Amino acid sequence: MRRRIPLIITFIIGVVLITGYFVTRGPFNTLYESFSDYFAIITVFAFILGGGSLLKIHLKRVSSRATDWPYSMVTLVAFLVTLVIGLFKVGNPGGMGGEILASGSWLRFMFDGVYNPLSATMFSLLAFFVASASYRAFRARTKEATILLSAALVILLGRTPVGAWLTAWMPESLAFLELPNLANWIMAWPNTAGQRAIMIGIALGVIATSLRIILGIERNYLGRGE
Amino acid sequence: MDVTLMLWIDAALTLMILSFLYRDNPFYKFAEHLFVGVSAAYLMAVGFWDHLVPNLLGKLFPSLMSGVVPGAVGRSPDYYYLIPAIFGLLLLTRLIDRWAWLSRWALAFIVGGAAGFNLPRFLDSDFIIQVQSTMIPLVVLDASGNLLWGASFSHVVLVLGVICGLVYFFFSVEHKGVLGHVSRAGIWVLMVTFGAAFGYTVMARISLLTGRMEALGAWLGSIF
């Protein structure tokens, strides 16, 4: 029962959704729309599960005084404070009926003052690591690395005013070699070709995996044991 | 909220994260753990108010939710929505070791749903439409029948690029001989794509960094 029922649920949901996509009227369409709503709702519970899991892990770390446990306290306090502010709309000018991210609300402050600078800086750190990665790729001196870096350089220069300025001296007959034009051509043709090959490959992979899941051949998501 | 206070918090958090460029340190760890806590709770709160309240609680308890869900006034409860509520609660049993197996039912709904949604959509938009878009003329002529060299060359690059890229992904046959050469050309096409993506990523990250530097500049400007 512990493994068979989930397989039956997966099969029914999968078959109904696939049929509902092609049959646009009658009961299948109604079920398709209902299941779409249900799917969106259950996915939100996954966020709650994620929050619960975060609480569980950090509470365990604090209670067992694991390495760096004071930082787990930071996570717990930040999580609980933001959650209370968000769920009860604390400091929201419109009260419980106001928009969750209303201007002047405390959650808005958490978003603008804490979440935004932290996420932006965290991602901007990648600029430094990307620079170091490209230097290492450049040192590798393989044909593939050279192609990758050349394409990246053309795109980088071609999409900024420097690129236009660098190649502005070129005669009209060689205008296609100007960096902005070259960048546009790379984006429109070879880049599209590569993207398309990847997309077709991914699509075939997704179709095969989806079929395996619906037919119960792929069962890894159920985990091990009973 | 006070603008100066916002500037100080913004600058302090930015400097804490940037301190990682020197090495891992307590300030970075503090900011990192703060980010995890705030972002998890933020996403939960937004998910609760934007999806769970209008789409589930508003349907199950319309009279109770009439103050927060505008369309719920005068609506009768839709008990079919007990199905996602039960599956959602089953998903949460994963947090209790003894009942964790029940979460498989909800997980089965999510996995089956994702498979059911993705199969026809990927088949349509990422397979059929992409193949269709690649079927373009290799020789391009203008209205008076003259060969357009540039456009023809671009079309050849696109069609051959897609074929070579697909051959590289075809693992059922060993990549030797002609297939090996075609597959090698496929790698080069993919490298151009990755290079373009790399270039855009660098630009996006540098633009974020510029934004952070501007924020630090505004903070310094407020001091001096």
Confidence (pLDDT) at A2: 77
For B197, name the nearest residue in chain A, comparing CA atoms only. A152
Which three-class secondary structure state does DSSP give residue B24?
A: coil
Report the C-alpha gap between A82 and B101 in whole angstroms: 31
* Contact check, Cβ <8 Å, A41/B165: no
| Chain-centre distance for alpha carbon B208 | 18
- Beta-carbon separation of B33 and A78 below 8 A: yes
**Structure token pair of residue B72:** 């719920």
Please name the amino acid found at residue A139.
Answer: R
User: pLDDT by residue (tens digit) across B87-137?
Assistant: 999 999 999 999 999 999 999 999 999 999 999 999 999 999 999 999 999
Question: Kind and range of the H or E element at B18?
Answer: helix B3-18
The answer to whether residue B219 sits within a structural domain is: yes
- What tokens does A132 get? 């170091």
Q: Which 3-state string (H, E, C) describes A110-179? A: HHHHHHHHHHHHHHHHHHHHHHHHHHHHHHHCCHHHHHHHHHHHHHHHHCCHHHHHHCCCCCHHHHHHCH
Asked if the model's pLDDT at residue B69 lies above 90, the reply is no
Scan for tokens 């996420």, then name that residue. Answer: A119
Q: Is B202 on the interface with A (CB under 8 A)?
A: yes
User: In A, which residues are within 8 Å of B80 by CB distance?
Assistant: 34
pLDDT, mean of residues B72-76 = 86
CB nearest A52 (choices: B31, B51, B92): B92
Q: How far is CA B11 from CA A113, B14, B198, B215, B222, in A?
A: 10, 5, 29, 7, 11
Q: How far is Cα B139 from Cα B156, in angstroms, rounded to an integer? A: 8
Tell whether B68 lies on the interface with A, counting CB pairs under 8 A.
yes
- Name chain B contacts of A75, Cβ cutoff 8 Å: 33-34, 36-37
Minimal Cβ distance to A118: which of B17, B150, B169:
B17
Does a structural domain hold residue B16? Answer: no
Q: Do B119 and A14 touch (CB under 8 A)?
A: yes
- Rounded to whole angstroms, the maximal C-alpha distance in chain B is 77
**B118 CB within 8 Å of a chain A CB:** yes
Residue B221 domain flag:
yes
Residue B223 lies in a domain: yes
The whole-angstrom separation of Cα A159 and Cα A181 is 10
A194 interfacial to chain B (CB closer than 8 Å): yes
Q: How many domains does chain B have?
A: 1
- Residue B149 domain-assigned? yes
Lowest mean pLDDT: which of B3-7, B9-13, B139-143, B187-191? B3-7
A45 and B91 Cβ atoms separated by less than 8 Å: yes
- 147-166 of A, contacting B, C-beta below 8 A: 147-156, 159-160
Residue A51 is which amino acid? G
Residue A91 CB partners (closer than 8 Å, separation 6+): A85, A105, A106, A107, A109
Query: Is the Cβ pair B38, A78 closer than 8 Å?
Result: yes
Cβ–Cβ contact A124 with B under 8 A: yes
In this complex, the residue of B20, B37, B68 whose CB is nearest that of residue A74 is B37
| Chain B residue at shortest CA distance from A97 | B68
Confidence of residue A136 (pLDDT cuts 50, 70, 90): confident
CB atoms within 10 A of CB B2: 7
Q: How much is the mean pLDDT over chain B?
A: 93
Average pLDDT over residues A144-148: 91
Number of Cβ pairs < 8 A linking chain A and chain B? 406
Highest mean pLDDT among A141-145, A156-160, B186-190: B186-190
Give the Cα separation of B193 and B56 in Å (integer): 43
Indicate the angle between helix axes B26-47 and A116-140, nearest 10 degrees: 120
Contact assignment for B212 to A109 by CB distance below 8 Å: no
Q: What is the pLDDT of residues A17-73, one digit of tens each?
A: 999 999 988 898 899 999 999 999 999 999 999 999 999 999 999 999 999 999 999
Report the alpha-carbon distance of residue A169 to residue A136 in Å, rounded: 33
Whether B162 maps to a domain, the answer reads: yes
Question: Does the beta carbon of B47 lie under 8 angstroms from any beta carbon of chain A?
Answer: yes
Residue with tokens 């991602």: A123
**Residue % of chain B over a pLDDT of 70:** 100
> Among B44, B45, B80, which Cα is nearest to B60's?
B80
Which residue, A20, B81, B129, is CA-closest to B72?
Answer: B81
Global pTM?
Answer: 0.86
Please report which confidence band the pLDDT of residue B171 belongs to, taking 50, 70 and 90 as the band edges. Answer: confident
A110: number of Cβ within 10 Å: 23
In chain A, which residue's Cα lies nearest the Cα of B207?
A: A124
Residues near A155 by Cβ (< 8 Å), separated by ≥ 6? Answer: A183, A186, A187, B195, B196, B199, B200, B203
Average pLDDT over residues B191-219: 93
B50 located within any domain = no
Query: What's the complex ipTM?
Result: 0.86
Phi, psi torsion values for B144, nearest 5 degrees: -95, 10
Chain A residue with CA closest to B55: the answer is A41
Residues of chain B contacting residue A114, judged by C-beta atoms under 8 Å apart = 9, 13, 34, 38
* B92 within some domain: no
pLDDT value of position B2: 78
Cα–Cα distance for residue pair A134/A125, rounded to 1 Å: 15
Domain hosting B191: range is 136-224
Instruction: Spell out which residues of chain A touch residue B194, defining contact as CB-CB under 8 Å.
Output: 148, 151, 194
Mean pLDDT on A4-20? 95
Does residue B45 contact residue A83 with C-beta atoms inside 8 Å? Answer: yes
For residues A65, A69, A75, A76, the Cα torsion angle rounded to the nearest 10 degrees is 20
* A162-219 pLDDT tens trace: 988 999 898 888 888 899 999 999 999 999 999 999 999 999 999 999 999 999 999 9
Q: Give the closest of A16, A51, A160 to B40, CB-based.
A: A51
